[in-house]
Every structure is written in structure tokens, then in C-alpha cells.
Chain A
Amino acid sequence: NAGVMQNPRHLVRRRGQEARLRCSPMKGHSHVYWYRQLPEEGLKFMVYLQKENIIDESGMPKERFSAEFPKEGPSILRIQQVVRGDSAAYFCASSPADSRNQPQHFGDGTRLSIL
């Protein structure tokens, strides 16, 4: 399966813990986008990364959230000191180098539940 791979599919954390969500883009894709879907809502853009660079983080909460896309390995969305309001589905999408006119292919998402 050469699609966008996200893991884990489900993640449960207690308040105050850290959550790490992983995303491996499609083969040949160098651009990664993270989106968050709160319950009963649409998807909201969080951050856009290329290898080793954050290009647009205008949708990221100012505190506790960070993202990276290292030269080797998957992209990581990290949430520190999680709170109940972080419970959501987090989707990763990837696209080829020229992303503006290419559809973004999404992973199956990570459902984060905060106890």
C-alpha cells in the first residue's frame, strides 16, 4: 500500500501527557500537511511542512503543539501536556513537489482521546 500512512490509528492519553502522531507520506511526496477535525466539525489546517522545513504553521495553536518532518523518517505532530480539548481526529495529507494543483492524499487519521 503506497498511500499516506498514519499511526497510531487510535491514541488514548491522560491529561498532562504527551501525544506523538506519525505520518509517512506517499512515496515520492515531499510535502506534508496536518489537519485537525474536532467532533462534529470540518477539517482545519494546522501546519504545512517540506523536508526539514516548516513552511506554514498559521493554523497551529501557539502553545504545546509542534511539528517536524525530518530528512529521514515520518513527519511527527507532537502535543505536549494534552488537555481534553485536544481530543480530535488528526489527519495528515501529502502531495508532490508542485502542490498547488495536485490533490492532497489523506491518511486514515489518528483519533486522539484525552481521558
Chain B
Amino acid sequence: AQKVTQAQTEISVVEKEDVTLDCVYETRDTTYYLFWYKQPPSGELVFLIRRNSFDEQNEISGRYSWNFQKSTSSFNFTITASQVVDSAVYFCAIREGGSSNTGKLIFGQGTTLQVKP
């Protein structure tokens, strides 16, 4: 069965520090998709990134970067030069890609990031 583990429950940093949020996943499927979502204090879910299992190229988007390593089943998320507005709960999720799969997402427990001024 699929599983996503976000071992860090809460992280607190001071503004401008870099911070990495860990995500480890389990799946028996060879094709799968990994996602990160942000949930700010207002409560909505904001899609950040999708990565498929056959593309291990790391990605950078502004201050955000993602490190996908199949060998360790990890899909870690780094925020460079953190800002107070980055304070949120961040969720990692997986979706299997087999033909019988219905597309549902399996979420980790989330990591609460607090960025202090």
C-alpha cells in the first residue's frame, strides 16, 4: 500500500534561514506521481509541484526547490531565504499511476513551518 511519511511535525526558523521539509514515500507501483501542497493559516490548499516517477530531475522555482531521489524514496522540499509568509502546513502526497488506479492522493501528516521575523 502507498504511504507518505513526513517525520518533521513542526519546524521553526528565523526569517532568511533556509529550511528543508522531508518527505519519504512507499509504493509498489513503478509509475507514480508526487506532490507538494501548502496550507496557509487561512486553510485553503495550494498546489506547489507535481513530479512523476520517471523524472528525477530536480526543480527550482524561485526560492523553492525540490530534490527527488528514487534510491531513497524521498521527495524533499527546500525553501531558501524563508519569509514570514512561508509559515504554513506543508503536505507531501503520492498518487499511483497504474491503469487501475483511481487517482486518489495519499497525504503525509504534514509539517507545520513557522517562520519568525
Chain A interface residues (CB < 8 Å from chain B):
31, 33, 35, 41-45, 48, 55-56, 59, 89, 91, 93, 95, 99-101, 103-109, 111
- Chain B residue nearest to A3 in the complex (CB): B44
Which one, B14-22, B62-70, B71-79, B99-107, is touching chain A? B99-107
B44 engages A108 (CB within 8 Å):
yes
Evaluate whether A48 and B103 lie within 8 angstroms (CB atoms) in the complex, with A91-B45, A106-B45 already known.
yes
Q: Give chain A's interface secondary structure class.
A: strand
In whole angstroms, how far apart are the Cα atoms of A13 and B102 in the complex? 32
- Beyond A33-B103, A100-B101, A109-B43, 4 extra complex contacts between A and B, CB < 8 Å: A35-B107, A42-B107, A99-B102, A106-B47
Partner of A109, one of B44, B47, B103, B109: B44
- Residues in B with CB closer than 8 Å to A108 are 43-44
10 chain-A/chain-B pairs, Cβ below 8 angstroms: A42-B108, A44-B107, A45-B105, A95-B103, A100-B103, A101-B33, A101-B97, A104-B47, A104-B103, A111-B43
- Residues in A with CB closer than 8 Å to B105 are 33, 35, 43, 45, 93, 104
In whole angstroms, how far apart are the Cα atoms of A103 and B43 in the complex? 19
A42 engages B109 (CB within 8 Å):
yes
CB distance from A85 to the nearest CB of B (A): 19
A43 engages B91 (CB within 8 Å):
yes
Query: Which one of B44, B45, B95 has the greatest number of beta carbons of chain A within 10 Å?
Result: B45
In whole angstroms, how far apart are the Cα atoms of A31 and B50 in the complex? 18
B109 engages A103 (CB within 8 Å):
no
B44 engages A106 (CB within 8 Å):
yes
- Chain B residue nearest to A59 in the complex (CB): B104
In whole angstroms, how far apart are the Cα atoms of A43 and B107 in the complex? 6
A103 engages B47 (CB within 8 Å):
yes
B110 engages A42 (CB within 8 Å):
yes
B83 at the binding interface (Cβ < 8 Å): no
